[in-house]
Amino acid sequence: MSAPVVRWQFTTSDYQSMMRYGILTEEDRTELISGEVLAMSPIGSRHAACVNRLTHWFTTKLGARAIASVQNPIHISARSEPQPDLALLRPRADFYADALPEPADVWLVIEVADTSVEFDRETKLPLYARAHIAETWLWDLSAHRLLVFTHPTTDGYSAMRQLGRGESIAPQAFPDLEIAVSEILG
């Protein structure tokens, strides 16, 4: 006789309580995705360098026009608080101290993937699309490319562009800022 697998479904309130009471800590590197607490992939040097380049580039170019939120949670729903590698947020005087950003606060989500491309593409990107986040970038470090997803629907993003070295892109929210793919990939 086999026992059924039981999965506990958590809310963002449950998840925040686990953090507050020390059941989970920042060192645990977890995120809440569709009610499940998931361990995040370890960050290697290529991944960290890419996030650092993106953070530097956006903070230098945007200044006070946006908040560059690095590996911080976004409250997507009552059961999801992903932590993208970088999110460009609408400026707010409290820098989101009073409440986590929600999808309406997010101009762009960026995921950097060295080993997590499949998870990011199949799990996190549909979550962002269902939340109507207008644009998501997936930096695929292994393939040396940038995947740009736009036009969110309940089934995922309906448009995708693939860019490589020698090409450039501007975020939809900031069409005046063009970034070279090779500048970020190094």
pLDDT of residue 61: 96
Indicate the domain borders of the chain.
42-185
CA distances from 168 to 118, 123, 140, 165 (A): 24, 26, 15, 8
Q: What is the distance between the terminal CA atoms of the chain, rounded to a whole angstrom?
A: 55
For residue 93, give both structure tokens. Answer: 């005087």
| pLDDT score at 86 | 98
pLDDT of 131 reads 97
Structure tokens at 144: 């040396």
What's the DSSP call for residue 80? B
pLDDT score at 93: 96
Q: What is the pLDDT of residue 1?
A: 63
Concatenated DSSP letters for 96-132? TSSS---GGGEEEEEEEESS-HHHIIIIIHHHHHHTT
Name the stretches of the chain with pLDDT < 70.
Answer: 1
Residue 2: the pLDDT is 74
Taking the C-alpha atoms of residue 23 and residue 21, their distance in angstroms, rounded to an integer, is: 6
Q: Which fold has domain 42-185?
A: tt1808, chain A (3.90.1570)
pLDDT of residue 7: 78
pTM of the predicted model as reported, rounded to 2 decimal places: 0.91
Where would I find the beta strands (DSSP E) of the chain?
A: 30-33, 36-39, 67-70, 86-89, 106-113, 135-140, 145-153, 156-163, 168-169, 179-180
